[in-house]
Amino acid sequence: MFNWFKTAMLMAAITALFGVVGASMGGQQGMLLALGFALVANFFAYWFSDRMVLRMYNAREVDASSAPEFYAMVRSLAARAELPMPRVYLIDEQAPNAFATGRNPAHAAVAATTGILRVLSARELRGVMAHELAHVKHRDILISTITATMAGAISALANFALFFGGRGDGRSSNPIAAILVAILAPLAGALIQMAISRAREFEADRAGAEISGDPRALAAALDKIHRYAQGIPLETAERHPETAQMMIMNPLSGGGLRGLFSTHPSTEERIRRLMAMAGASG
């Protein structure tokens, strides 16, 4: 329920932001155009943001025929988690990573890179996919996917500002537009930081370990993904850093504005908690 509330507040805030920027750039006409754009963006973000993200990563859907072992693994874990079977996707990227998306458990999808299938053992991969299904079970996926889409829409708002900023009295630019463009990228990062709690990864680790029954395997997977991810960039995430918060591991190289989009807690602390969980369970 709280994630639904956060999603509604996020959509309302984005709509208000678009209206203010539109009014400052183009008066009443600009405000109406911006509000119209915001309403369309909200509609598409709710109903189609998962497809947009999957298309962004060139994810291809697989089934029991095209990826039998991986598909069977997800199906087994979904049954253990008492979840409907999600759609399953593979992403042709060397960087090891995975994410879940969708608007609810009945319309969910999980995606993994081909790189993660290569570098992890079956036990470790099972832990990772259990983590992603925990996000589905906790309904983190709606706010996560919509936040990524809306942060991208803020970039479109910068173009909107420039469009109106170059019109009117013959000047090539509007100082207000220049200021807005300068702050919109940090604003997109701040939006993600506010909407996405770092605690959700700890909780998904805990629940994922319970679903898989193997916290040590998930801890080993996180350690291995962390080490590989440092040397292998995930190109799509670098181009669209607003989607990085969806991944099991932060895929961004860091530095500059990319640091604003970091929402993951430290890998060391995640591993420590999982190993403590394994010790407590004997």
Set 61, 69, 93, 132: catalytic member: 132
Residue 247: name the closest of 84, 128, 78 by CA: 128
How far does Cα 60 stand from its chain's mean position? Answer: 18
- List the structure tokens of 257: 């504005």
Residue 203 is among the residues annotated as catalytic for this protein: no
Residue 214: name the closest of 278, 118, 133 by CA: 278
Q: Strand 60-62: give its sheet, edge to edge.
A: 60-62, 87-91, 108-113, 98-102
Query: From CA 28, how far away is CA 11, in angstroms rounded?
Result: 21
Contacts for 144 with CB less than 8 Å, ≥ 6 apart = 100, 101, 135, 196, 245, 246
Query: From CA 145, how far away is CA 47, in angstroms rounded?
Result: 11
Q: Which residues form the catalytic set?
A: 132
